[in-house]
Structure 1
Amino acid sequence: MTALEERLSDRVSELGLPQWAVDLLLIGGVVLATYALFIVIGIVFGVSTNLIVGQLQQITFFAAVYALAALALNLHWGYTGLFNIGVAGFMAVGAYTMGMLTAAPDGSPPGLGLPLIVGVVGGMIAASLVGFVAALPALRVRADYFAIVTLGLSEIIRRALLSRSLQEFEIAGYALGTGGGSGIRAPSTDVVADYLLYVGADRTGDPTTLGAVLFESAELLGIQPSIIRNGVYTLILIAFVVAFYVLLTRIAYSPFGRILKAIREDELAARSLGKDTNRTKIKVFMLGCALMGLAGILWQGSRTQISPNSFMPIVTFYIFVALIVGGSGSNTGSIVGGFAFAAFLYQGPRFLRTIVRALVDVRAPPTIYDAFVPLASGDPLPLLGYAIGSLDEIRYIFIGLVLIVLMIRRPDGLLGHRKEIAAATDLSRRPAATNGGETDE
């Protein structure tokens, strides 16, 4: 990755393109190379076009989700040095608040039946307020202790959502509820895709001009309409990734962003210069939690049922892995890391399992002993079946190996080694001065 990036940077610098263009080309190159790899694998093993396109859509969807969460976490950990390992909890607050605000009043559990946009904004505000409540006592502790506080808060949130006491309750005469272990049903956020594809957002109605073009093209290629609909929603998520990236980049170049980096490097030195570090950390923690809440809304909101089991601590671990792979402190690295994690560590093994099961009739033996014994007679299928059946567990081993290699070879991640300028204007590109001290016209 380093050699490729250096060659790309040299080439782009010759063309005089800005840094954001280099980052865009880098992200595009990684995405296209990954797509090409999965397409070639699918063609070689005779996978249908519908399955290949469906897998690429799933990879892109999860890549966008993890990129959104990794960018929000980068604001905490990469910019400010706040070790927040309660990301899943703040995502749950955003998703559940959106669900309770938009669920039907006569549903089970009931909601307020408000418009979807109100639910999205309300979910972000709720996640931000929970972040504010968590930040006040947590600012008294540092480093690992702050991580313990956020992890504990995340589990408190998840357990509260599972509680029967909150399954259905009343506030000011309005009935609400989390649904307990059954979760909550709410309008899906992917209904936005229906507005682009169908007249009146009714899937039983006529398609729009865009919808007609996409559905006709998909029919010619043998692609199901559901994949097209999911693909349109994935493009909406990519638009949010771009918005997150622009927002965090503007923050990085602002005076507020320079205070964040000063806190990360040496909070005592920043405080000695007259900066109110506690207030700054509260602000950035609330902003990051709001973005995490939005990421949870866009992810779980695309499903009709929002379940508390979707916000297990392992979700926070996945997001940290994506950020570590890309490089802490780098917005571009957060996007690249999210895509790499989704493609090769999360969705990629599932694609491999689908191909193997489609080509070979393998059955998983009950124990690993029963899988190895047939090898003595030259039969590898039981071992292959056991490996495919245990692929979710083996994936954790592979993730651990990737992290070990990264810590040894690239401890800063793929793009974490890059130095960021402190201002929006690169001062190294000032025009040369003349003998009289004036700049050239």
Structure 2
Amino acid sequence: MSESASDSPAAGALDVLRRVFANDAVKVAAMYLAIWVVFYAFADHLGYANTGKLALVRRVTFLAAVYGLVVLALNLHWGYAGLFNIGVAGFMAVGAYTMAMLSGAPTGTPPGLGLPLPLGILGGVLAATVIGLVAALPALRLKADYLAIVTVGISEIIRITYNSPALSDVTGGARGFGNLPTSPATWLLYRNPTDPTSDPTPVGDVLFSFAADYGIQQFAVVNTVYTVGVLAVLLGVYLLLERTGKSPYGRVLKAIREDETAAQSLGKDTQNFKVRAFALGCALMGLAGILWFGMGPRASVTPATFRPNITFYIFIALIVGGAGSNTGSVLGGALFASLLFEAPPIVRSIVTDAFDVQADPANLVEALVPVASGELAPLAGFLLNNIDTLRFIGIGVLLVVLVQRRPDGLLGARKETASSVALTEDTRPTGSTGRGAAAADGGETDE
């Protein structure tokens, strides 16, 4: 008897592969590995030295991690509780500015308080939480688009306040806060964190010596260590929100998202749940602002950094990954930061070098007219020279396709956790007369 198609080695291997990629950790690891391979290949093709290769891979990893962190925070609002918050940038600004003002050097301009960096980070997160609570109490009584209008208004109030000349002695005004604390990575790698020429610590000595064997400079090592720290924070936040989503609290948030009136009819104080979710999400946004703009490589805290467009970028990443999925949030942040945001300028450099495109038409008409006679160089030149603008058109097209073909995003259409244990199995010990493992309230018990 011939072997059936379902029993063939190829089908078996495909089934094993499908089971492996059903694991969320494998999905995320595979995505990051693919990004590293692609951008290393880009750097190698452009002839970068080892320092340049590491710097490019590190930069895209850093952006993927911080985007993933903010998207996770937004997913708690929109994906779990259905709260339409488009003031993300404002809460990021509160976290970054508060940390800078608390931990900046007293001799800087504007002066900081000079507190230890951990206190500055904690203060920034708490400030974002408090602002989130103050905003949530009146705003969460509103629905859908009205809530969106209020949150974007709050974000702009925050940005304009930091930009105000009247507060320039405290916030730096339009020039921003330029005297930021030293990156935490320098505390691990240098004996004197404020002096990069000082002797390295034992850990720094090992890493710098290893990097020197491959011609990698110390600044690239410092930035890479910091990026690894951001990845660790991303993992911690992901695990926290996964636990939150599967808890009774998370299931109430999902019930509010689907039908708040039904949740209220079951005796849940929906306003209290929404306020707590909003405050936690704002705290994580403040932390993301600190890690992204307050302590990262080339850190800078200026009001212009926190314009509404950054909120829209984060929403796009959430839509790509799929609202309601923490894994989708991480993948969406990585895809947006790498392929949609960082890759186009590098692709332009590769194509320009490979084909020596010299044409530079002034507008689209001048680029399209020669196409009728078979000349493609003007069109190619126009596309390459305007790739920074055209990529946003590409993002818009991608959103239209996603809304039409896959409105739930890459991982948004997933089964919700209805109970802390499987409802289809009786896990009671043999002979037990107690009630089943699946409690009627979705897993909560009074014991």
Judge same fold: TM > 0.5, yes or no. Answer: yes
Q: Is the 8 A contact 1:267 1:277 kept in 2?
A: yes
Q: 1:422 to 1:198 in 2, by over 3 A?
A: farther
Which residue does the alignment assign to 1:16?
A: none
Give yes or no for contact 2:20–2:26 (8 Å, CA) kept in 1. Answer: no
- CA displacement 1:219-249 (0-9 Å, x = unmatched): 3333333222211111110011011111111
Q: Deviations over 1:78-136 (max 9, x none)?
A: 11000101100110111111111122333222222222111111111111111111112
Once the 2 structures are TM-superposed, how far is the Cα of residue 213 of structure 1 from its aligned partner? 3.4
Taking the aligned partners of 2:82 and 2:220, their CA distance within structure 1 comes to 40
Question: How far has the Cα of 1:49 moved from its partner?
Answer: 4.0
Residue 165 of structure 2: aligned partner: 164
Residues 176-255 of structure 1 correspond to what in structure 2 (within 5 A)?
Answer: 177-188=170-181, 191-201=183-193, 202-255=195-248
Quote the RMSD (CA, aligned, Å): 2.8
How many angstroms apart in 2 are the aligned matches of 1:432 and 1:280? 32
Paired residue for 1:367?
363
In structure 2, distance between residues paired with 1:273 and 1:366 = 64
The correspondence for 2:392, drawn from 396, 403, 423, is: 396
Q: Quick one: distance in 1 between partners of 2:227 and 2:274? A: 32
Q: Does the aligned pair in 1 maintain the 2:45–2:350 contact within 8 Å?
A: no
Mapped contact 2:110–2:179 kept (Cα < 8 A): no
Distance 2:359 2:208 in 1: 37
What SS class does the counterpart of residue 235 from structure 2 fall into? helix
Residue by residue over 1:238-264, the C-alpha shift from the partner in whole angstroms, topping out at 9 and shown as x without a partner, is 011011111111211222212111111
TM-superposed deviation, 1:385: 3.9
Change (3 A) 1:388 1:229: farther
Structure 1: which amino acid aligns with 2:316? V
Q: What SS class does the counterpart of residue 113 from structure 1 fall into?
A: coil
| Equivalent-residue separation in structure 2 for 1:364 and 1:50 (angstroms) | 32
The answer as to 2:255 corresponding to 1:265 is no
| Deviations 1:326-351, CA, capped at 9 Å, x for gaps | 11111111111111111111111122
Alignment pair present for 1:408 and 2:404: yes
Shift in CA distance, 8/33, structure 1 to aligned 2, threshold 3 Å:
farther
CA contact (8 A) 1:100 1:186 kept: no
User: How big is the shift at 1:11?
Assistant: 2.9
Query: What SS class does the counterpart of residue 221 from structure 1 fall into?
Result: coil
**Matches of 2:331 and 2:41, distance apart in 1:** 21
TM-score by length of 2: 0.85
8 Å contact from structure 1 (residues 252, 422) kept in 2: no
Q: Unaligned regions of 5+ residues in structure 2, if any?
A: 1-10, 437-447
| Residues 58-96 of structure 1: per-residue CA shift (max 9 Å, x gap) | 111000111000000011001100010110011011111
Output the CA distance in 2 between the equivalents of 1:347 and 1:7. 34
Displacement of 1:36 after TM fit? 2.3
For the residues of structure 2 that align with 1:8 and 1:406, how far apart are their CA atoms?
Answer: 29
1:38 Cα offset (Å) = 3.0
Give secondary structure in 1 for the equivalent of 2:168.
Answer: coil
CA-CA distance at 1:52 after TM superposition: 3.1
Between the aligned partners of 2:409 and 2:348, the Cα distance in structure 1 is: 28
Over 3 Å counting, the alpha-carbon distance change for 1:278 and 1:9 in structure 2 is farther
Map residues 21-100 of structure 1 onto 2, 5 A cutoff: 22-44=23-45, 46-100=47-101
Aligned residue for 1:312? 307
TM-score (norm 1): 0.86
Structure 1, unaligned runs of 5 or more:
14-18, 169-176
Residue by residue, what CA displacement relative to the aligned partner does 1:259-309 show, whole Å, maximum 9, x if unpaired? 111111111111111111111111111111011001001000124431111
Question: Which one is further off, 301-310 or 150-159?
Answer: 301-310
- C-alpha contact 1:65 1:237 (8 A) present in aligned 2: yes
Percent identity over the alignment?
51
Change (3 A) 1:429 1:26: farther
Corresponding residue SS for 1:274 = coil
Residues 208 and 379 of structure 1, relative CA distance in 2, 3 Å threshold: farther
State whether residues 97 and 123 of structure 1, in contact with CA within 8 Å, keep that contact through their aligned partners in structure 2. Answer: yes
Q: Is the 8 A contact 1:116 1:187 kept in 2?
A: no
CA contact (8 A) 1:194 1:229 kept: yes
Give deviations 1:171-191, integer Å, cap 9, x for gaps: xxxxxx1111100123346x2
1:106 counterpart letter in structure 2:
T
